[in-house]
Copies of this chain bind each other. A is one copy, B any other.
Amino acid sequence: MIILFTDFGPGGPYLGQIRAVLHREAPGLAVIDLVSDSPPFDPAAGAYLLAALMPQLAEDAVILAVVDPGVGGPRAPVMVRADKRWLVGPDNGLMAIAARYCATAQWWDITWRSERTSATFHGRDLFAPVAARLARGAAPPGTLRRDGRHAGRDWPRDRPAVIYIDPYGNAMTGLRSAAMAEGRPVVAAGRTVPQARTFADVPPGQAIWYENSIGLVEIAVNRGRADRDLGLAIGTPVEIAAADDEAS
């Protein structure tokens, strides 16, 4: 199975071209479009979203992860053997947090190149063909990085900021609920936001945070839009409230 995690948007020509390549290179294989609206130009935000989604992906999945503002520049194309899964994409941090979740993670440089690789669409010309090969069980077309160096290796395990706005205006953060904030309010855009189990537990219009379905701190306004109502955007800092904030 090949799983797509990208910022290509669901309707445009990029995802369609990738699907056409995968169909040609690995016909009959299941391809699942997991996320196509990861924040554009922002591998760091995507890294924490991808990591939170990893535990539920099939154990032998090949994950094509492409948020690649530096395409055509010096960043390297890589493959990561993360337990029994493969991650394929640019070495810009996007896969760093997901790899860190795993018991074992080996980083490989992709050395294969197609006859004609465009300067701006490595997703189609490089990453998709490599993902198809790996999904067919072929040997990884590259070389193991003995030192394991990669972009994002110094990023923190949690990211105290908004990483994704969903279609309802709910704001996911890069904070894991269990590890970081259970029972504590969070502070975002100057507001102290208490925890609740779900939006259905509070009156319409009230802001809360809860542990979302992938284990992250998520801020919502019941039947409202947290992004608009609270002024949240990708990158807005979200902090755990200090003890005296809880009393206020």
Contacts and interface: CB of A to CB of B under 8 A. Distances in A.
A101 interface: no
Interface in A29-65: 30, 32-37, 40-41, 49, 53, 56-58
Contacts of A11: 9-10, 35-37
Contacts of A69: 199-200, 223
Contacts of A104: none
A198 interface: yes
A30 B27 CA distance: 9
Given A119-B197, A199-B72, A201-B73, A34 B57 contact: no
Given A32-B23, A34-B16, A58-B20, A168 B198 contact: no
B13 A49 contact: yes
Nearest to A169: B40
A17 B213 CA distance: 10
Given A213-B121, A213-B125, A223-B41, A17 B73 contact: no
Given A13-B34, A199-B72, A200-B72, A20 B41 contact: no
A15 B37 CA distance: 12
Nearest to A13: B35
A143 interface: no
Given A198-B72, A198-B120, A223-B41, A35 B57 contact: no
Q: What class of interface size applies to chain A in its complex with B?
A: 35 or more
A20 B210 contact: no
Nearest to A68: B200
Contact of A120 (B8, B17, B24, B199): B199
A166 interface: yes
A25 to B, nearest CB: 12
Contacts of A124: 213
10 contacts: A1-B23, A8-B167, A11-B37, A13-B34, A17-B53, A23-B30, A40-B168, A72-B200, A120-B218, A121-B213
Given A72-B198, A119-B198, 8 more contacts: A40-B167, A70-B200, A72-B197, A74-B200, A119-B197, A119-B213, A120-B210, A120-B218
